[in-house]
A and B are shown apart, each in its own frame.
Chain A
């Protein structure tokens, strides 16, 4: 028999006069204890909930905010943009000039056709490490008639090479040549220009000349050829 039951039996048997009063007080006290126990259990549950589920909720909220930024979107078309930094490519001598490369690959690529009278012509490629894929060409040519020195570089429009991006970053001026937007800047003693035409992005450097009108003429001649 439990202690409580013994106690109740004792009250019932020994204190008839105050029995009901005592029993009522006893019952009230028991109910209080029960409520306190329930409250304690509720508090404990609440603490457990706070300790476990609230942090989990915070994690979920943070992930809900950051994952869409980090992960590619499933329902949108995958971008074919490729970005290369210097440990992913090398600059190597190339055995064709831009004209020969364009013809050999049946590509419509712009170039300065000064080859027959060039005093100097050097062509390099941005070569992807491992695959040796040609990411772009870089050609320096000196016009043997005028002594004018230019460098022209190009990449596919979907390819970004970090050191070429830096040229784009400083080309803050704009000029429109035959509906083509040319971004340009005086870069120390040279002129740099960047534009997109057809499937390619071009970087033109006019060496030792800061007259932007000459750059505009050269770009116009490229586009019109």
Chain B
């Protein structure tokens, strides 16, 4: 078999296999894109957050276990409000929505944070958004954060400046404490914030949010892919250990309000795609 023939055969087989590759990969995404295709962040202040669209990955993993230990499961009182953008015109609005979630959260503790509306039921559980009050709040923050003014979405500074402007106008002070990012995420600081009933805003590059279905002797974990740089609000910490036949597994998740309509809440794993995480403190 001469060289030309071998090359010819290889090229032909490669061309013929292209349709098969297309059929196989269409709709078949990897379960975990946590560290794939992440651009190196050299200046966190320059990253713009556009509100990545949730993409169903059709990727579900069933973890069959012999035993399961929930090491720690803590969250803020009443969780956090699950606001999302359902407007006809706001775009790249994750900054405004996540800012609204933080405001709605603190409305329970600081009077009139949302004017003329209580974000919570007497039981302490947060209400879903309403068109009038939370709708107005989202639009206000959208403008204050200068969404889409100097580029698509907002930067972290845009988010902080816009949120601060709103909170200050309500008569309160606000500060932001970093709990780390990427490989230096400080779980102890994050847990301390939860115990102090404070929420933490996550600035993330594309990654996943998970649902965890609970079966008998198994958890079913499905992934929703965050398709762009996104801002979410974390309000809880969930650590679990599985003992399985032939092995063990240890997972740590942050509980998050996603700022999406569906899923509106989920679990998030810290990875190199997390640009920054700041606890919002009001006084």
Contacts and interface: CB of A to CB of B under 8 A. Distances in A.
Contact of B12 (A56, A69, A87): A56
Interface in B46-91: 53-58, 60, 62, 84-88
A140 B129 CA distance: 10
Interface size class of B (residues with CB under 8 A): 35 or more
B220 A62 contact: no
Interface stretch (A12-20, A26-34, A100-108, A164-172): A164-172
B19 A92 contact: no
Interface stretch (B140-148, B179-187, B206-214): B206-214
Nearest to B135: A93
B12 A59 contact: yes
A59 B88 contact: no
Interface stretch (A1-9, A46-54, A74-82, A216-224): A46-54
B9 A164 contact: no
Given A65-B20, A122-B130, A51 B56 contact: no
Interface string A86-112: 110001110000000000000000000
B262 interface: yes
A187 B256 CA distance: 14
Interface in A110-135: 120, 122, 124
B1 interface: yes
A70 B55 contact: no
A185 B53 contact: no
Contact of A147 (B1, B55, B123, B213): B123
Given A147-B121, A166-B222, A58 B58 contact: no
A201 to B, nearest CB: 14
B227 interface: yes
A59 B220 contact: no
Nearest to B79: A189
B220 A122 contact: no
A164 B58 CA distance: 10
Interface residues of A, number: 50
A162 B213 contact: no
Contact of B22 (A59, A70, A122, A165): A70
Nearest to A94: B86
* Secondary structure class of chain A's binding surface, majority of residues: helix
Contacts of B39: none
Nearest to B23: A70
A62 B9 contact: no
Contacts of B121: 147
Q: Could you say which of A61, A140, A167, A187 has the most chain B C-beta atoms within 10 Å of its C-beta? A: A187
A66 interface: yes
A66 B17 contact: yes
Interface in B227-283: 227, 261-263, 265, 267
B4 A51 contact: yes
B122 to A, nearest CB: 9
B266 to A, nearest CB: 8
A208 interface: yes
B130 A92 contact: no
B23 A69 contact: yes
Interface of B: 1-2, 4-5, 8-9, 11-13, 15-17, 19-20, 22-23, 27, 53-58, 60, 62, 84-88, 121, 123, 125, 127-131, 211-215, 220-224, 227, 261-263, 265, 267
24 contacts: A47-B2, A47-B5, A54-B9, A55-B8, A55-B11, A55-B13, A62-B20, A63-B16, A69-B23, A70-B20, A70-B23, A86-B227, A93-B86, A120-B127, A122-B130, A124-B86, A138-B261, A147-B121, A162-B56, A163-B54, A164-B262, A166-B60, A172-B62, A172-B220
